[in-house]
Each structure stands twice: as structure tokens, then as C-alpha cells.
Amino acid sequence: MMQIRDKVELSEKVQAYRELHYKIGFVPTMGALHFGHLSLVRKSRAENQITIVSIFVNPTQFNDPNDLEKYPRMPEQDLEMLDAEGVDIVFMPDVETIYPDEKRNHFDLAGLDKPMEGKFRKGHFDGVADVVFRLFDIVKPDRAYFGEKDYQQLKIIQQMTKVAELPVEIISGEIIRESDGLAMSSRNIRLSEQERVAAANIYQIIRDFEPETFVEKPDKAEDIIAEKINKNEHLKTEYVSIVEDESMQTPKKLELDVTYRLCVAVWCGQVRLIDNLTFVITNNY
Ligand code: AMP
């Protein structure tokens, strides 16, 4: 496995693979890797001749400096995991490599950046869209892999790729969970033992949601779910939102055969966790 920090060196390597007509799969990460990341790596390995993983904790997407400082970093362990997965190249740029000057790219995110994460983390998605654009520009992948764990981010990257007319196929991977249902996250290691137990409630509560009961009043469902989560002394919801899966718009009522997504952000102690699940109401219940 090659470890590359320099963007010119990376571009040259990619160009050489391209001349051999190899397909390039790319998995951008912020490190502190877990099986959620590795599931995307495996997908890329199955679909491309070359897999490149980036590890870059992107400062511009952190609205909270404390969160950036506390973000877990464990490069040695990450490299071992990626090597064992058969990754071809790990790209580990420093901040100056990605942001050589003060200029920032802005994209028309079609309002997808307004609700939920966008509302509570000001500027977050501008930072995400900019860094992914910059990474795509260096790596020039054929396919790039993103987890549904960060569902709104996935939609925003699809939108950025569309408006910037980039020839990259965006491929999504399902949410990988711990055995008690907690969505895997790099941030989970910051939870205390008690908080870790409490955190499992988030998925256990959203999983039990019965949308058929709330067809006329999805906003009521959001309140009830938030109330259930907040009953646990370690948990405090920031939002519980039901949105239409494609547009991320809030529905007034739930229609048959339309795909929706229930999304939550919950503080567990000092750690902010997000999760989501998708649902459709069909006629056969
Ligand atoms: P991060 O390192 O948190 O920026 O995540 C890098 C990529 O891994 C993103 O596309 C995430 O959506 C994805 N990811 C993170 N956690 C999970 C998970 N539990 N299941 C699937 N994908 C995940």
C-alpha cells in the first residue's frame, strides 16, 4: 500500500493507472476508521481495479473548534486496517496541500443544505462540498463511495457533482451498526461506558417507529420520538426530522409509496451522534 501526502505525486500515480485503463474507486474519510468505512472500501475494491482512500480531517467543515480539536486521530491503526483490506493508495494530505490559499469554492446546493445538519451546523456543508470537490480534483476517481450514515451529506455531494459537472459516479453504502444497533461512528470512542449504553437507545427507538400511525401528522411523530429519546438522562435530541428522501423537504402528510427518511441528531454527553432510516408506506399493511 502506497502512502502519499503530495498531491502532484498522487495525480501522477493516478494518471499512470488511467493510461492502463484502470477504473479508480475513491473513499474519502476523516480517519479513526471502523467497519463503516471498511464496508465502503470493500465495495470500491469489488468494483474498481484501484482503490484510493483519503484520510483528511477537514477543518472547514467543523463549525465547532472544540469538536475539531477533539476529533479522534489514530493514523497508525488506520494504516494497518487499510493495508489489511488491500487498499492501493492512502492519500494523507496536510491542510496547506488542500487549502493553499484563502479561496473557497461555493456551489448551488439547491436548498439541500438548509434543514437538519445545515440548520444546526452553520457552514458545515459548504466545507464538505468544497473539500470533496478539491479531493475529486486531485484523485479524479471514476467512482466515489459515501455512507448513508451521513445521508444529507450524500445528497449534497450528489448535487455538487452535478452542478460542477464532474464525471464521477457517486455510490452509496448502507449504514453499518454495532450489534446493539448503534450506528458506527469515529466519535463513538469518545463516549463513556454509560453513554455508550445509552447511545444504543437512539436506533432502538427510531427502529420502532410506525409511520402508518402518523400519516396525517408526521410532525407529531417527530415530537414523540424526541420525547422518547430525551427520557434517557444521557441523551438530548437536537432534531428529529422526517423528510422526503430525494428532495429532503418536510412533508405535511405521508403519501403512499413515497420514500421518506427519519433523521436524528442527538447529543450523548459531549458527543453529537446522527442516525437515520428510510421508510415507505405501502398499501399492504
Ligand atoms: P467520516 O470519516 O466520518 O467522514 O466518514 C467517511 C465516510 O464513511 C462517509 O461517507 C460516511 O458516511 C461513511 N460512514 C461513516 N460511518 C458509517 C457507517 N456506520 N456506516 C456506513 N458508512 C459510514
- Is there a catalytic annotation at residue 37? yes
pLDDT at position 285 is 54
Unique residue bearing C-alpha cell 492501493: 88
Q: Please name which of 174, 180, 175 lies closest in space to residue 202, comparing C-alpha atoms.
A: 180
- 53-62 pLDDT tens trace: 999 999 999 9
Nearest residue (by CA) to ligand 1, atom 6, is 29
- 265-284 pLDDT tens trace: 999 999 999 999 999 999 86
Residues flanking ligand 1, CB < 6 Å: 29-30, 36-37, 39-40, 146-147, 149-150, 173, 175-176, 183-186
pLDDT of residue 144 exceeding 80: yes
DSSP class of residue 281? B
- 208-225 pLDDT tens trace: 999 999 999 999 999 999
Percent of the chain with pLDDT over 90: 99
Q: What would the mean pLDDT of 4-25 be, rounded to a whole number?
A: 97
Q: What would the mean pLDDT of 228-243 be, rounded to a whole number?
A: 98
Give burial (CB, 10 Å; 0-12/13-18/19+) of 171: middle
**CB-CB contact of 55 with 30 (8 Å):** yes
How far CA 242 is from CA of 209, 235, 277, in Å, comes to 11, 19, 10
**CB-CB contact of 2 with 89 (8 Å):** yes
C-alpha cell at 112: 439541500
CB-facing half-sphere around the CA of 197: CA atoms within 13 A: 4
The atom of ligand 1 lying closest to the CA of 33 is 2
pLDDT of residue 140 exceeding 60: yes
Provide the mean pLDDT of the chain: 97
pLDDT at position 283 is 80
The one catalytic residue in 21, 37, 106, 124 is: 37
pLDDT of residue 15 exceeding 80: yes
| DSSP H or E stretch at residue 283 | none
**CB-CB contact of 204 with 277 (8 Å):** no
Q: What would the mean pLDDT of 89-110 be, rounded to a whole number?
A: 97
